[in-house]
Homo-oligomer: A and B are copies of this chain.
Amino acid sequence: MTAPPPPPSSALLTDLYQLTMLQTYVERGMEEPAVFEFFVRKLPAHRGFLLAAGLEQALEYLETLRFSDRELEWLAAHGKMPASFVEYLARLRFGGDVQAMPEGTLFFPNEPVLRLIAPLPQAQLVETRLINLLHFQTMVASKAARLVLLAKGAPLIDFGLRRAHGAEAGLLAARASYLAGFAGTATVVAGVQFGIPLYGTMAHSFVQAHTDEADAFERFARSHPDNVVLLLDTYDTEAAAAKVVALASRLKGRGIAIGGVRLDSGDLAAHARQVRRILDDGGLSQVKIIASGNIDEAALRRLVEAEAPIDTFAVGTHVTTSSDAPYMDCAYKLQEYAGRPCRKRSEGKATWPGRKQVYRTHGPDGRMAGDVITLESDRQEGAALLQPVMQAGKRLAAPRPLADVRAAIAGELSRLPEPLRTLQDGAPYPVRISQALLDLAGSVDRSR
Protein backbone atom coordinates (compact mmCIF):
# COMPACT_ATOMS: atom_id res chain seq x y z
CA MET A 1 0.00 0.00 0.00
CA THR A 2 1.03 3.59 -0.42
CA ALA A 3 1.78 5.67 2.63
CA PRO A 4 -0.70 8.22 3.99
CA PRO A 5 -0.04 11.77 2.82
CA PRO A 6 2.71 13.71 4.56
CA PRO A 7 1.86 16.60 6.88
CA PRO A 8 0.40 19.39 4.77
CA SER A 9 2.74 22.05 3.47
CA SER A 10 0.26 24.90 3.31
CA ALA A 11 1.18 27.80 1.03
CA LEU A 12 0.50 29.98 4.08
CA LEU A 13 3.42 28.36 5.93
CA THR A 14 5.18 31.59 5.20
CA ASP A 15 5.94 34.97 6.70
CA LEU A 16 3.46 37.74 6.12
CA TYR A 17 6.12 39.89 4.47
CA GLN A 18 6.44 37.44 1.60
CA LEU A 19 2.83 38.15 0.64
CA THR A 20 3.30 41.88 1.18
CA MET A 21 6.34 41.96 -1.10
CA LEU A 22 4.66 39.75 -3.69
CA GLN A 23 1.81 42.18 -3.95
CA THR A 24 4.21 44.99 -4.87
CA TYR A 25 6.17 42.78 -7.28
CA VAL A 26 2.97 41.82 -9.07
CA GLU A 27 1.61 45.38 -9.17
CA ARG A 28 4.90 46.59 -10.62
CA GLY A 29 5.39 43.70 -13.01
CA MET A 30 8.61 42.64 -11.28
CA GLU A 31 8.48 39.07 -12.50
CA GLU A 32 11.92 38.72 -14.08
CA PRO A 33 14.05 35.70 -13.11
CA ALA A 34 15.45 35.89 -9.60
CA VAL A 35 18.30 33.71 -8.37
CA PHE A 36 18.20 32.81 -4.68
CA GLU A 37 20.69 30.59 -2.89
CA PHE A 38 20.37 28.76 0.43
CA PHE A 39 23.56 28.52 2.48
CA VAL A 40 24.82 28.38 6.06
CA ARG A 41 26.77 31.45 7.17
CA LYS A 42 28.87 29.76 9.81
CA LEU A 43 29.26 26.44 11.57
CA PRO A 44 27.84 25.99 15.07
CA ALA A 45 30.51 26.00 17.79
CA HIS A 46 32.69 22.86 17.90
CA ARG A 47 31.31 21.60 14.59
CA GLY A 48 33.52 20.80 11.62
CA PHE A 49 31.08 19.90 8.84
CA LEU A 50 27.42 19.81 7.83
CA LEU A 51 25.46 17.16 5.97
CA ALA A 52 22.82 18.33 3.48
CA ALA A 53 19.34 16.89 4.05
CA GLY A 54 15.75 17.85 3.41
CA LEU A 55 15.99 18.42 -0.35
CA GLU A 56 13.37 15.75 -1.02
CA GLN A 57 10.76 17.52 1.12
CA ALA A 58 11.77 20.89 -0.34
CA LEU A 59 11.19 19.67 -3.89
CA GLU A 60 7.88 18.10 -2.94
CA TYR A 61 6.82 21.42 -1.44
CA LEU A 62 7.77 23.32 -4.60
CA GLU A 63 6.10 20.83 -6.90
CA THR A 64 2.80 20.88 -5.01
CA LEU A 65 2.71 24.55 -4.01
CA ARG A 66 -0.72 26.12 -4.39
CA PHE A 67 -3.14 28.14 -2.34
CA SER A 68 -6.23 26.16 -1.38
CA ASP A 69 -9.70 27.64 -1.74
CA ARG A 70 -9.97 28.05 2.02
CA GLU A 71 -6.64 29.84 2.17
CA LEU A 72 -7.67 32.18 -0.62
CA GLU A 73 -10.97 32.86 1.15
CA TRP A 74 -9.06 33.67 4.31
CA LEU A 75 -6.69 36.01 2.48
CA ALA A 76 -9.60 37.76 0.77
CA ALA A 77 -11.39 38.22 4.09
CA HIS A 78 -8.44 39.00 6.40
CA GLY A 79 -5.42 39.71 4.25
CA LYS A 80 -6.13 43.36 3.37
CA MET A 81 -5.20 42.48 -0.22
CA PRO A 82 -6.80 43.62 -3.46
CA ALA A 83 -8.99 40.99 -5.16
CA SER A 84 -6.74 41.02 -8.22
CA PHE A 85 -3.80 39.94 -6.09
CA VAL A 86 -5.79 37.13 -4.47
CA GLU A 87 -6.68 35.97 -7.98
CA TYR A 88 -2.99 36.05 -8.88
CA LEU A 89 -2.23 33.84 -5.87
CA ALA A 90 -4.98 31.42 -6.91
CA ARG A 91 -3.14 30.85 -10.18
CA LEU A 92 0.34 30.79 -8.68
CA ARG A 93 2.40 27.61 -9.19
CA PHE A 94 6.12 27.11 -8.86
CA GLY A 95 7.62 26.88 -12.34
CA GLY A 96 11.28 27.50 -11.63
CA ASP A 97 14.57 25.61 -11.87
CA VAL A 98 16.52 24.24 -8.94
CA GLN A 99 20.10 23.11 -8.64
CA ALA A 100 21.18 21.54 -5.37
CA MET A 101 23.71 19.39 -3.59
CA PRO A 102 22.24 15.87 -3.39
CA GLU A 103 21.02 14.90 0.06
CA GLY A 104 23.92 13.58 2.05
CA THR A 105 26.56 15.89 0.59
CA LEU A 106 29.01 17.23 3.15
CA PHE A 107 29.23 21.01 2.98
CA PHE A 108 30.72 24.05 4.66
CA PRO A 109 29.92 27.71 5.39
CA ASN A 110 29.03 30.03 2.50
CA GLU A 111 28.66 27.15 0.05
CA PRO A 112 25.31 27.31 -1.73
CA VAL A 113 23.41 24.10 -0.94
CA LEU A 114 20.46 24.95 -3.17
CA ARG A 115 20.03 27.50 -5.95
CA LEU A 116 16.58 28.40 -7.20
CA ILE A 117 15.79 30.40 -10.33
CA ALA A 118 12.22 31.52 -10.87
CA PRO A 119 10.15 34.63 -11.52
CA LEU A 120 10.75 36.88 -8.50
CA PRO A 121 7.33 36.38 -6.83
CA GLN A 122 7.62 32.59 -6.91
CA ALA A 123 11.20 32.59 -5.73
CA GLN A 124 10.37 34.98 -2.89
CA LEU A 125 7.22 33.30 -1.61
CA VAL A 126 8.91 29.96 -0.96
CA GLU A 127 11.73 31.36 1.18
CA THR A 128 10.25 30.64 4.59
CA ARG A 129 9.19 27.03 4.09
CA LEU A 130 12.32 26.15 2.09
CA ILE A 131 14.53 27.34 4.92
CA ASN A 132 12.25 25.64 7.45
CA LEU A 133 12.64 22.29 5.65
CA LEU A 134 16.32 22.44 4.69
CA HIS A 135 17.53 23.91 7.97
CA PHE A 136 15.95 21.32 10.23
CA GLN A 137 16.87 18.12 8.45
CA THR A 138 20.38 19.37 7.68
CA MET A 139 20.86 20.20 11.35
CA VAL A 140 19.63 16.81 12.54
CA ALA A 141 21.51 14.83 9.89
CA SER A 142 24.70 16.71 10.79
CA LYS A 143 24.21 15.95 14.47
CA ALA A 144 23.35 12.31 13.78
CA ALA A 145 26.44 11.88 11.60
CA ARG A 146 28.61 12.89 14.56
CA LEU A 147 27.04 10.19 16.70
CA VAL A 148 27.43 7.64 13.90
CA LEU A 149 31.13 8.44 13.60
CA LEU A 150 31.63 8.09 17.36
CA ALA A 151 29.66 4.82 17.61
CA LYS A 152 32.30 3.02 15.51
CA GLY A 153 29.79 0.67 13.96
CA ALA A 154 27.45 0.09 16.90
CA PRO A 155 23.82 0.58 15.82
CA LEU A 156 22.06 3.79 16.88
CA ILE A 157 18.29 4.14 17.18
CA ASP A 158 16.24 7.35 17.28
CA PHE A 159 14.01 7.52 20.38
CA GLY A 160 13.33 11.26 20.10
CA LEU A 161 9.71 11.86 19.09
CA ARG A 162 8.43 12.83 22.50
CA ARG A 163 10.81 15.76 22.87
CA ALA A 164 10.93 16.72 19.20
CA HIS A 165 9.49 20.15 18.49
CA GLY A 166 6.09 18.96 17.29
CA ALA A 167 4.95 16.18 15.00
CA GLU A 168 6.76 17.11 11.81
CA ALA A 169 10.04 17.53 13.68
CA GLY A 170 9.73 14.01 15.07
CA LEU A 171 8.93 12.55 11.68
CA LEU A 172 11.68 14.38 9.80
CA ALA A 173 14.27 13.84 12.55
CA ALA A 174 13.69 10.10 12.17
CA ARG A 175 14.31 10.48 8.44
CA ALA A 176 17.39 12.67 8.78
CA SER A 177 19.04 10.50 11.42
CA TYR A 178 18.34 7.36 9.39
CA LEU A 179 19.97 8.96 6.34
CA ALA A 180 23.00 9.78 8.44
CA GLY A 181 23.44 6.16 9.42
CA PHE A 182 21.09 5.42 12.31
CA ALA A 183 19.69 1.87 12.16
CA GLY A 184 16.11 2.99 12.68
CA THR A 185 13.62 4.77 14.89
CA ALA A 186 10.90 4.17 17.45
CA THR A 187 8.61 6.66 15.68
CA VAL A 188 5.84 4.64 14.05
CA VAL A 189 4.77 7.32 11.54
CA ALA A 190 8.33 7.34 10.20
CA GLY A 191 8.01 3.65 9.46
CA VAL A 192 4.71 4.26 7.71
CA GLN A 193 5.82 7.33 5.80
CA PHE A 194 9.38 6.46 4.85
CA GLY A 195 9.74 2.74 5.47
CA ILE A 196 12.36 3.33 8.16
CA PRO A 197 12.96 0.23 10.33
CA LEU A 198 11.12 0.44 13.65
CA TYR A 199 12.53 -0.54 17.02
CA GLY A 200 10.99 -0.67 20.44
CA THR A 201 11.39 -2.18 23.87
CA MET A 202 9.15 -1.55 26.90
CA ALA A 203 8.56 1.36 29.28
CA HIS A 204 8.97 1.53 33.05
CA SER A 205 5.22 1.77 33.32
CA PHE A 206 4.94 -1.76 31.93
CA VAL A 207 7.02 -3.08 34.80
CA GLN A 208 5.20 -0.89 37.32
CA ALA A 209 1.75 -1.98 36.14
CA HIS A 210 2.64 -5.50 37.32
CA THR A 211 3.01 -6.22 41.02
CA ASP A 212 6.10 -8.31 40.28
CA GLU A 213 8.94 -7.36 37.92
CA ALA A 214 9.68 -10.99 36.96
CA ASP A 215 6.02 -11.46 36.04
CA ALA A 216 6.17 -8.37 33.86
CA PHE A 217 9.22 -9.74 32.04
CA GLU A 218 7.63 -13.13 31.52
CA ARG A 219 4.36 -11.72 30.22
CA PHE A 220 6.20 -9.50 27.79
CA ALA A 221 8.35 -12.39 26.55
CA ARG A 222 5.41 -14.70 26.02
CA SER A 223 3.45 -11.97 24.27
CA HIS A 224 6.35 -10.96 21.97
CA PRO A 225 8.47 -14.10 21.58
CA ASP A 226 10.30 -12.72 18.52
CA ASN A 227 11.39 -9.45 20.14
CA VAL A 228 12.08 -9.94 23.82
CA VAL A 229 13.87 -6.81 25.04
CA LEU A 230 13.47 -6.21 28.76
CA LEU A 231 13.97 -2.94 30.63
CA LEU A 232 16.11 -3.43 33.72
CA ASP A 233 16.28 -0.17 35.65
CA THR A 234 12.79 0.38 37.05
CA TYR A 235 13.90 -0.62 40.57
CA ASP A 236 17.37 -2.22 40.68
CA THR A 237 19.28 -2.93 37.48
CA GLU A 238 21.44 -5.84 38.63
CA ALA A 239 18.59 -7.53 40.53
CA ALA A 240 16.55 -7.29 37.34
CA ALA A 241 19.40 -8.86 35.35
CA ALA A 242 19.37 -11.83 37.73
CA LYS A 243 15.62 -12.17 37.12
CA VAL A 244 16.31 -12.24 33.38
CA VAL A 245 18.70 -15.17 33.88
CA ALA A 246 16.11 -17.08 35.90
CA LEU A 247 13.42 -16.28 33.33
CA ALA A 248 15.58 -17.45 30.43
CA SER A 249 15.63 -21.03 31.67
CA ARG A 250 11.85 -21.01 32.22
CA LEU A 251 11.33 -19.67 28.69
CA LYS A 252 13.70 -22.14 27.09
CA GLY A 253 11.14 -24.93 27.43
CA ARG A 254 8.71 -22.81 25.43
CA GLY A 255 11.28 -22.13 22.73
CA ILE A 256 11.49 -18.42 23.53
CA ALA A 257 14.89 -16.70 23.63
CA ILE A 258 15.56 -13.33 25.24
CA GLY A 259 16.96 -10.94 22.64
CA GLY A 260 18.13 -8.02 24.71
CA VAL A 261 17.96 -5.89 27.80
CA ARG A 262 17.81 -2.11 28.11
CA LEU A 263 19.57 0.14 30.62
CA ASP A 264 18.15 3.66 30.96
CA SER A 265 19.66 5.36 34.03
CA GLY A 266 22.66 5.62 36.30
CA ASP A 267 26.27 4.99 35.23
CA LEU A 268 25.59 3.18 31.97
CA ALA A 269 29.14 1.82 31.59
CA ALA A 270 29.23 0.39 35.11
CA HIS A 271 25.75 -1.11 34.84
CA ALA A 272 26.54 -2.55 31.41
CA ARG A 273 29.63 -4.32 32.80
CA GLN A 274 27.78 -5.75 35.78
CA VAL A 275 24.80 -6.80 33.70
CA ARG A 276 27.07 -8.34 31.05
CA ARG A 277 28.77 -10.43 33.70
CA ILE A 278 25.46 -11.55 35.24
CA LEU A 279 24.10 -12.47 31.80
CA ASP A 280 27.30 -14.24 30.72
CA ASP A 281 27.52 -16.15 34.02
CA GLY A 282 23.91 -17.20 33.45
CA GLY A 283 24.71 -18.52 29.99
CA LEU A 284 23.11 -15.58 28.20
CA SER A 285 26.12 -14.29 26.28
CA GLN A 286 23.98 -13.88 23.16
CA VAL A 287 21.65 -11.36 24.89
CA LYS A 288 22.36 -7.83 23.64
CA ILE A 289 22.61 -4.76 25.86
CA ILE A 290 20.87 -1.61 24.69
CA ALA A 291 21.62 1.67 26.44
CA SER A 292 19.49 4.82 26.48
CA GLY A 293 19.07 7.91 28.63
CA ASN A 294 20.54 11.31 27.88
CA ILE A 295 23.12 10.06 25.35
CA ASP A 296 24.91 12.80 23.42
CA GLU A 297 28.33 12.89 21.74
CA ALA A 298 30.24 13.28 25.00
CA ALA A 299 28.41 10.40 26.69
CA LEU A 300 28.73 8.17 23.64
CA ARG A 301 32.45 8.89 23.29
CA ARG A 302 33.00 8.02 26.96
CA LEU A 303 31.05 4.77 26.67
CA VAL A 304 32.86 3.71 23.50
CA GLU A 305 36.30 4.68 24.80
CA ALA A 306 35.62 2.83 28.07
CA GLU A 307 34.72 -0.22 25.95
CA ALA A 308 31.46 -0.56 27.86
CA PRO A 309 29.79 -3.79 26.69
CA ILE A 310 26.87 -1.99 25.03
CA ASP A 311 25.65 -3.34 21.69
CA THR A 312 23.14 -0.68 20.66
CA PHE A 313 22.63 2.95 21.62
CA ALA A 314 19.23 4.63 21.64
CA VAL A 315 19.48 8.39 21.29
CA GLY A 316 16.48 10.61 21.85
CA THR A 317 16.35 14.26 22.68
CA HIS A 318 19.91 15.16 21.77
CA VAL A 319 19.61 14.13 18.14
CA THR A 320 15.99 15.19 17.58
CA THR A 321 16.57 18.70 18.92
CA SER A 322 20.24 18.93 17.91
CA SER A 323 20.59 19.97 21.52
CA ASP A 324 24.03 21.61 21.41
CA ALA A 325 23.13 23.57 18.28
CA PRO A 326 19.34 23.75 17.94
CA TYR A 327 19.61 26.21 15.07
CA MET A 328 22.08 27.19 12.38
CA ASP A 329 22.89 30.62 11.03
CA CYS A 330 21.52 29.98 7.55
CA ALA A 331 19.94 32.14 4.88
CA TYR A 332 18.21 32.16 1.50
CA LYS A 333 19.42 35.22 -0.32
CA LEU A 334 18.81 37.02 -3.60
CA GLN A 335 22.04 36.79 -5.62
CA GLU A 336 20.83 38.00 -9.01
CA TYR A 337 17.71 39.70 -10.36
CA ALA A 338 16.88 40.21 -14.03
CA GLY A 339 20.48 39.35 -14.92
CA ARG A 340 21.99 41.81 -12.43
CA PRO A 341 24.13 40.30 -9.65
CA CYS A 342 23.03 41.44 -6.16
CA ARG A 343 24.99 41.72 -2.95
CA LYS A 344 23.67 42.37 0.54
CA ARG A 345 26.26 44.25 2.59
CA SER A 346 24.68 44.24 6.07
CA GLU A 347 27.31 44.12 8.83
CA GLY A 348 28.36 40.54 9.51
CA LYS A 349 25.86 39.29 6.95
CA ALA A 350 27.36 40.22 3.57
CA THR A 351 26.68 37.74 0.78
CA TRP A 352 28.56 36.59 -2.33
CA PRO A 353 26.75 37.71 -5.50
CA GLY A 354 25.82 35.83 -8.64
CA ARG A 355 25.02 32.22 -9.61
CA LYS A 356 27.55 30.04 -7.88
CA GLN A 357 28.94 26.54 -7.98
CA VAL A 358 31.14 24.60 -5.58
CA TYR A 359 33.99 22.38 -6.76
CA ARG A 360 35.56 19.75 -4.52
CA THR A 361 38.90 18.02 -4.93
CA HIS A 362 40.07 14.82 -3.27
CA GLY A 363 43.57 13.76 -2.29
CA PRO A 364 45.41 10.64 -3.46
CA ASP A 365 43.99 8.82 -0.39
CA GLY A 366 40.46 9.57 -1.56
CA ARG A 367 39.89 12.01 1.29
CA MET A 368 38.32 15.41 0.65
CA ALA A 369 41.10 17.94 0.09
CA GLY A 370 39.38 21.30 -0.36
CA ASP A 371 36.52 23.22 -1.95
CA VAL A 372 36.33 26.33 -4.04
CA ILE A 373 33.24 28.52 -4.29
CA THR A 374 33.06 30.21 -7.65
CA LEU A 375 30.68 31.44 -10.33
CA GLU A 376 28.68 28.90 -12.30
CA SER A 377 30.44 30.15 -15.42
CA ASP A 378 33.95 29.60 -13.99
CA ARG A 379 34.87 25.91 -14.36
CA GLN A 380 37.33 24.78 -11.69
CA GLU A 381 39.16 21.57 -10.96
CA GLY A 382 37.25 18.85 -9.11
CA ALA A 383 33.67 17.69 -8.91
CA ALA A 384 30.79 20.19 -9.17
CA LEU A 385 28.57 19.74 -6.12
CA LEU A 386 25.40 21.51 -7.28
CA GLN A 387 23.37 19.47 -9.75
CA PRO A 388 20.12 20.20 -11.60
CA VAL A 389 17.20 18.64 -9.71
CA MET A 390 14.14 20.56 -10.94
CA GLN A 391 13.27 22.23 -14.21
CA ALA A 392 10.21 24.38 -14.90
CA GLY A 393 8.72 23.23 -11.61
CA LYS A 394 9.12 19.49 -12.25
CA ARG A 395 11.56 17.15 -10.58
CA LEU A 396 14.17 15.78 -12.97
CA ALA A 397 14.30 12.42 -11.25
CA ALA A 398 12.18 10.32 -8.93
CA PRO A 399 13.06 10.57 -5.23
CA ARG A 400 16.15 8.50 -4.45
CA PRO A 401 15.55 5.46 -2.28
CA LEU A 402 16.67 6.21 1.27
CA ALA A 403 18.99 3.20 1.13
CA ASP A 404 20.91 4.86 -1.72
CA VAL A 405 21.27 8.10 0.19
CA ARG A 406 22.41 6.19 3.29
CA ALA A 407 25.07 4.37 1.30
CA ALA A 408 26.24 7.62 -0.28
CA ILE A 409 26.52 9.25 3.13
CA ALA A 410 28.53 6.38 4.56
CA GLY A 411 30.93 6.91 1.65
CA GLU A 412 31.03 10.67 2.21
CA LEU A 413 31.83 10.28 5.91
CA SER A 414 34.69 7.91 5.11
CA ARG A 415 36.24 10.61 2.90
CA LEU A 416 36.24 13.28 5.62
CA PRO A 417 39.71 14.48 6.60
CA GLU A 418 40.74 12.61 9.76
CA PRO A 419 40.45 15.51 12.28
CA LEU A 420 36.88 16.13 11.11
CA ARG A 421 36.03 12.45 11.15
CA THR A 422 37.15 12.11 14.78
CA LEU A 423 35.31 15.31 15.77
CA GLN A 424 38.39 17.13 16.95
CA ASP A 425 38.27 20.91 17.24
CA GLY A 426 40.96 22.13 14.92
CA ALA A 427 41.75 23.73 11.61
CA PRO A 428 38.62 24.20 9.51
CA TYR A 429 38.19 22.37 6.21
CA PRO A 430 39.73 24.53 3.46
CA VAL A 431 37.15 26.44 1.41
CA ARG A 432 38.46 29.04 -1.02
CA ILE A 433 36.62 31.89 -2.75
CA SER A 434 37.66 32.00 -6.41
CA GLN A 435 39.20 35.04 -8.04
CA ALA A 436 36.22 35.24 -10.40
CA LEU A 437 33.84 35.55 -7.45
CA LEU A 438 36.04 38.08 -5.65
CA ASP A 439 36.15 40.13 -8.84
CA LEU A 440 32.38 40.06 -9.24
CA ALA A 441 31.81 41.06 -5.59
CA GLY A 442 34.19 43.99 -6.02
CA SER A 443 32.51 45.09 -9.19
CA VAL A 444 29.02 44.88 -7.64
CA ASP A 445 30.20 46.98 -4.69
CA ARG A 446 31.74 49.61 -6.98
CA SER A 447 28.61 49.81 -9.13
CA ARG A 448 26.45 51.06 -6.27
- Asked if residues B347 and A233 are in contact (CB atoms below 8 Å), the reply is yes
Of residues 276 to 296 in A, which have CB atoms within 8 Å of B's CB atoms? none
Determine the distance from Cα of A209 to Cα of B15 in the docked complex, in whole angstroms: 18
| Other-chain residue from B14, B24, B235, B323 in contact with A224 (beta carbon distance below 8 A) | B24
Which of A7, A165, A186 has the most C-beta atoms of chain B within 10 angstroms of its own C-beta? A165
A13-B189, A16-B198, A209-B337 given; name 10 further pairs at CB < 8 Å.
A4-B74, A15-B200, A24-B219, A34-B205, A78-B191, A131-B163, A136-B165, A205-B334, A235-B345, A321-B327
Whether, in the assembled complex, A27 has its beta carbon less than 8 Å from a beta carbon of chain B, the answer is yes
Whether, in the assembled complex, A68 has its beta carbon less than 8 Å from a beta carbon of chain B, the answer is yes
Determine the distance from Cα of A236 to Cα of B344 in the docked complex, in whole angstroms: 10
Shortest distance from the beta carbon of A353 to any chain B beta carbon, whole Å: 9
Considering the complex, give the chain B residue whose CB is closest to the CB of A232.
Answer: B346
Considering the complex, give the chain B residue whose CB is closest to the CB of A32.
Answer: B209
Of residues 126 to 152 in A, which have CB atoms within 8 Å of B's CB atoms? 127-129, 131-133, 135-136
- Asked if residues A162 and B17 are in contact (CB atoms below 8 Å), the reply is no
Shortest distance from the beta carbon of A210 to any chain B beta carbon, whole Å: 8
Whether, in the assembled complex, A113 has its beta carbon less than 8 Å from a beta carbon of chain B, the answer is no
- Asked if residues B24 and A163 are in contact (CB atoms below 8 Å), the reply is no
Indicate whether A124 sits within 8 Å of B205 (C-beta atoms), given known contacts A166-B165, A234-B344: yes
| Other-chain residue from B20, B162, B346 in contact with A131 (beta carbon distance below 8 A) | B162
Whether, in the assembled complex, A427 has its beta carbon less than 8 Å from a beta carbon of chain B, the answer is no
Whether, in the assembled complex, A242 has its beta carbon less than 8 Å from a beta carbon of chain B, the answer is no
Q: Which residues of B contact A88 (CB under 8 A)?
A: none
Select the stretch in A168-176, A373-381, A397-405, A435-443 that faces chain B.
A168-176
Shortest distance from the beta carbon of A222 to any chain B beta carbon, whole Å: 9
| Other-chain residue from B135, B162, B165 in contact with A127 (beta carbon distance below 8 A) | B162
Whether, in the assembled complex, A264 has its beta carbon less than 8 Å from a beta carbon of chain B, the answer is yes
A-B contact pairs, 23 of them (CB 8 A): A4-B70, A7-B8, A8-B167, A14-B161, A14-B188, A16-B186, A20-B227, A24-B223, A124-B205, A129-B167, A135-B163, A136-B164, A165-B169, A165-B326, A168-B169, A205-B333, A205-B334, A208-B343, A264-B346, A266-B346, A321-B326, A322-B326, A326-B326
Q: Which residues of B contact A173 (CB under 8 A)?
A: 165
Which of A10, A30, A71, A131 has the most C-beta atoms of chain B within 10 angstroms of its own C-beta? A10
Shortest distance from the beta carbon of A295 to any chain B beta carbon, whole Å: 13
Considering the complex, give the chain B residue whose CB is closest to the CB of A184.
Answer: B16
- Asked if residues B226 and A80 are in contact (CB atoms below 8 Å), the reply is yes
Indicate whether A203 sits within 8 Å of B30 (C-beta atoms), given known contacts A10-B4, A166-B165: no
